[in-house]
Amino acid sequence: MPLVLPLLLAVALFCLGVYGVLARRNAITMLMSFELMLNAVNLNLIAFDAWRLDGLATGQTLAIFVITLAAAEIGLGLAIVLLLFRGHGHVDADAARDLLETADTAKEIDR
Amino acid sequence: MTTALFAVAGAVALFASILVVTSRRIVHAALWLVVALGAVAGCFGALHAELVALVQILVYVGAIVVLVLFALMLTKAPTNPLPALTTRRSPFAAVVAGVLAILLGTGVVIAFGNEKIGPVPDGSAEAVGTAVFRTWVLPFEVLSVLLLAALIGAIVLSQRAPKKED
């Protein structure tokens, strides 16, 4: 199997994830796009592991670690999204502007 | 044979991922995520990483997608199609993603265009288990602490704020 096949699939999945994070409005769909990007990374790790065969299964071990990290990330992310929903009544990432820094607030902070 | 299997699973993953980021119904996007993650697990299997494929199905499809569906339910996500689910900036997002894809794709093809994955020995679970509990045992323990921290963080975040006593 040519090595570029899994690598190009990973590139496509990663860029779809980037598009989803930038274009989606709902915070939960943004988190789903993050999962796509992490999967692309895992695909790279597995492909390079199968290519190099270093005897330590480094790529597969790191892929399992990344899956664990993804579980931790989605747990915390969804907790934050639920907090946003409880405070604002929506999960629109564009309308969540509590931390927005305008020229006025920047001046206040400087003072 | 493995190349054909990988190509089929990869095509399914690609198709489902496109629907994940473009579907106008949130719940459908979450369910297409199941298909995409399952197909990526199939890709792992075709690359002879059975343990990672099983962990992927167990953790991603079994736990993460269920968590996402629960969050959709708790945030009262509507099941009808929402045209406003994608922002007005989505053409720019598509341009960014497309340029990134071209850059990464050409880089990958230039760097690894002639490399081939040779035949891989079957049954990698034993090697992975040995690696995790021998070579990588310290990162493994650190990761368990990280999971504990994420657990505590999620509990603290989802607690209702106590009423202030005057």
Report the residue of B55, B58, B75 to disrupt the A interface, i.e. the one with the largest count of A CBs within 10 Å.
B75
- C-alpha radius of gyration, chain A, whole number: 19
- C-alpha radius of gyration, chain B, whole number: 21
CB distance B18–A7 less than 8 Å?
no
Mean pLDDT across the stretch B67-91?
83
CB distance A11–B60 less than 8 Å?
no
Residue B49 pLDDT greater than 80, yes or no: yes
Band (pLDDT 50/70/90 cuts) for residue B163 is low
Mean pLDDT across the stretch A23-35?
91
Considering only the beta carbons, identify the residue of A17, A23, A60 that sits closest to B124: A60
Phi-psi region of A75 (alpha: psi -120 to 50; beta: other; left: phi over 0): alpha
Residue B20 pLDDT greater than 80, yes or no: yes
The mean-pLDDT minimum among A49-58, A59-68, B75-84 falls in B75-84
Which among B95, B71, B77 has a CA at the least distance from the CA of B23? Answer: B77
Given this model, what pLDDT does residue A70 score?
92
- Chain B residues within an 8 Å CB radius of A87: none
Band (pLDDT 50/70/90 cuts) for residue A110 is low
- Residue A35 touches partner B, C-beta closer than 8 Å: yes
Mean pLDDT across the stretch B123-133?
85
Given this model, what pLDDT does residue B165 score?
61
CB distance A4–B108 less than 8 Å?
yes
Q: State the ipTM, two decimals.
A: 0.89
Band (pLDDT 50/70/90 cuts) for residue A109 is low
Residue B162 pLDDT greater than 70, yes or no: no
Separation CA B27–CA A32 (nearest Å): 11
Q: How close B118 comes to chain A (CA, Å)?
A: 7
Share above pLDDT 90 across residues of chain B, in percent, rounded to a whole number = 52
Mean pLDDT across the stretch A66-77?
92
Contacting residues for A28 by C-beta, under 8 A, at least 6 apart: A78, A81, A91, B26, B30, B68, B71, B72, B75, B77
- Residue A95 touches partner B, C-beta closer than 8 Å: no
- 3 state DSSP class of B59: helix
- Chain B residues within an 8 Å CB radius of A33: 20-21
Considering only the beta carbons, identify the residue of A64, A73, A80 that sits closest to B157: A80
List phi, psi (to 5°) of B136. Answer: -105, 30
Residue B141 pLDDT greater than 60, yes or no: yes
The mean-pLDDT minimum among B36-45, B88-97, B113-122 falls in B113-122
Band (pLDDT 50/70/90 cuts) for residue A20 is very high
Mean pLDDT across the stretch B116-138?
84
Which among B52, B36, B33 has a CA at the least distance from the CA of B44? Answer: B52
Q: Which tops the pLDDT comparison, B75 or B8?
A: B8
- Residue B26 touches partner A, C-beta closer than 8 Å: yes
Mean pLDDT across the stretch A51-76?
89
Given this model, what pLDDT does residue A111 score?
63
